[in-house]
Amino acid sequence: MEFLKQHRAALISSFILALLIEFPLVAFYFKAGDSYQGINIAHFGTDEHLYLTRGNDVLHGNYLGNPALKEGKSTKQDYYFTINEYVLVGPLYFLGLKDQINIVTLYNIYNFIGVFLLILLIYFLTLKISANKFLAISAALFVVGGYSIVYNKTFFYEDFNVYGRSLYPYIGSLAFFSYLLALVKALKSEKIKTIFFAGALYGLLFYVYFYAWTFALVLNGILFLALLFWKDFRNAKRVFWINILGFFIGSLYLLRIFNFLNSPAGEQFYYFSWSSLGSAPIMNNLGLLSLVLFCFFIYKDREDSNAPFVLSVALAGFVALNQQIITGRMLQQNHYYWFFIVPLFIITTFYMLWKLSENYNFLRKISFGLLILLALLNTAIGQYRSFGTTYESKLYDQKYKSVLEILNKEKESEVVLAGDDPYAQLVNIYTPHDLFWHNFAAMNYNPMQRFKDALYLYVYLNKNTRNDFINNAPTHAVYEGIEGYLSGFDHYEYYRRLGRKDPELLEKREKLLNDFSEEYNKLARSPKNIVEMLKKYEVRYILWDENIYSSWDLSFINTLHEIKSENNIHLYEI
């Protein structure tokens, strides 16, 4: 009870902010009214659908070698290399609750709890650094509720607060800021056990989120050097041993990812994960601003015990964003920026401003109080404005309820042929079944013939394109995936060349289409060949959304039996 009294303001404000972030889910239930059929997914593009699919796969006792498709679940490597779904969802499978639990509802509950705990965690980290509750509350709320102001340089967004997304980023942020809190405690404590605890949490990062452990690695290295510069050899040794312990715990992960990235599966993953080749430096404007502020900060108080940590945070962003100078490969750097650089910039900047304005106590309290209000208002108004941007698509989700209920009556996993669109992913999310194909399956290793078969089938299903492969194949996302991967260019270079109609790429396209067309025409000579392909991939159901795919023609399948037709959405069994 004493703990609750001491941190009551932080607990209440964290609860309010977490509630605001989850507001769109609650609001949809009420606004949809009678149209609401229990399908309530937070819309963050297909990323949200992917995370839910992964969770549902584990809920039904599967490994994550290929969440979208039936083949390769236990034989292929999960490119995430994480334990998150197994820890959060796996126990429910072993308890026999897979048929009683909806992964979307479960993750929505996890989201609220996770965001609430994350805000509190950032509060306690800032409190440990500053020993000031008011500053800690303002920093914690602004990290989660105001990050968009820093990142987008605008107020009241229209693209939802990213912390409302299932699992990522909050699970990686929880692990990362838990480690930072343990690290700061280890630097301020005489107890040896704090070193072991911080090292264990650092090692855990390897199995939680790639961008978390790599950013922590950079931060640790710079902090070690900064402590040596400050001649704080005691804490430098502590950081050294924390690193050693963390690497020991993460060694299995490092071995697995090294083998994966140097395999054909790794090469395919490089392309489809949007990494690119290049070594051009990236400017970190927030880091530059932090360094300028740090000069004033250290000039005012050269004895501040947090100075090495604050400086390390500012420099870590530069190194993390520019690792390509050494590796020659560009990662999705925005993950560093969104989830670590911006939050740490807010925490350390707030701390430095607080210290610099200590002679103006009343003014700084007013200023930081306004920042708290701004974080809450930015979230409330931003979530409200974002709500309308996805309302119609969420309403359309409800039309799938009846066919999903029928599919759920079949408890054994079957394969469903559906369109390559987000609505098809509802099958992966709300039933135990898999799809014949979905574009996000490209992230997991699949033989190139698997891509081509998906392309051939989708071209054939459309009666208007069935007899004109060359002119219609390039309109399919799966074709662009094949062409881009085989082009030899990285993802971004391929689309740059495609956009400007690059002659070299067009020449490759002509040859590729001619080769594929020859193979397709042999296949399309007889409907029996297409039916055999469906059997090959164990397709039992076909889900046809006539509103989207009005030109599909399924008449070539003689054994087709319609189970359900509602809202122009048809479910067939072969």
DSSP string, 444-481: S---HHHHHHHHHHHHHHBTTTTT-HHHHGGGSHHHHH
DSSP designation for 35 = G
User: What CA–CA distances, in Å, run from 495 to 257, 448, 474, 506?
Assistant: 28, 20, 13, 12
Rounded-to-integer distance, Cα 148 and Cα 430, Å: 31
Q: Whose CA is closest to 479, among 444, 522, 445, 508?
A: 508
Rounded-to-integer distance, Cα 422 and Cα 46, Å: 6
Question: 435 forms bridges with which residues in the sheet?
Answer: 416
Give this prediction's pTM: 0.94
Q: Supply the pLDDT for residue 314.
A: 95
Helix (H) / strand (E) element for 565: namely: strand 561-566
Helix (H) / strand (E) element for 227: namely: helix 210-229
Q: Where are the beta strands (DSSP E) in 376-530?
A: 415-417, 434-435
- Could you tell me if 17 and 145 are in contact, meaning their C-beta atoms sit under 8 angstroms apart? yes
415-417 and 434-435 beta bridge pairing: parallel
Please list, in sequence order, all residues whose beta carbon lies within 8 angstroms of the beta carbon of residue 286, skipping any fewer than 6 positions away.
150, 317, 341, 342, 345
Rounded-to-integer distance, Cα 429 and Cα 46, Å: 12
Contacts 24+ apart (CB under 8 A), 464-468: 464/551, 465/551, 466/524, 466/553, 467/524
- Structure tokens belonging to residue 101: 């639990």
Q: Whose CA is closest to 137, among 3, 15, 22, 20?
A: 15
Q: Whose CA is closest to 144, among 439, 325, 382?
A: 382
Annotated domain spans of the chain: 208-356, 400-573
- Cβ neighbours, 10 Å, residue 202: 29
- Could you tell me if 467 and 520 are in contact, meaning their C-beta atoms sit under 8 angstroms apart? no
276-277 and 561-566 beta bridge pairing: unpaired
Per-residue pLDDT of the chain (574 residues; tens, 9 = 90+): 788 889 999 999 999 999 999 999 999 999 999 999 999 998 787 889 999 999 999 999 999 999 999 998 888 788 889 999 999 999 999 999 999 999 999 999 999 999 999 999 999 999 999 999 999 999 999 999 999 999 988 899 988 999 999 999 999 999 999 999 999 999 999 999 999 999 999 999 999 999 999 999 999 999 999 999 999 999 999 999 999 999 999 999 999 998 888 888 888 888 988 887 777 888 889 999 999 999 999 999 888 999 999 999 999 999 999 888 887 777 888 889 999 999 999 999 999 999 999 999 999 999 999 999 999 999 999 999 999 999 999 999 999 999 999 999 988 899 999 999 999 999 999 999 999 999 989 988 899 999 999 999 999 999 999 999 999 999 999 999 999 999 989 889 999 999 999 999 999 999 999 999 999 999 999 999 999 999 999 999 999 999 999 999 999 999 999 999 999 999 999 9
Helix (H) / strand (E) element for 539: namely: strand 539-545
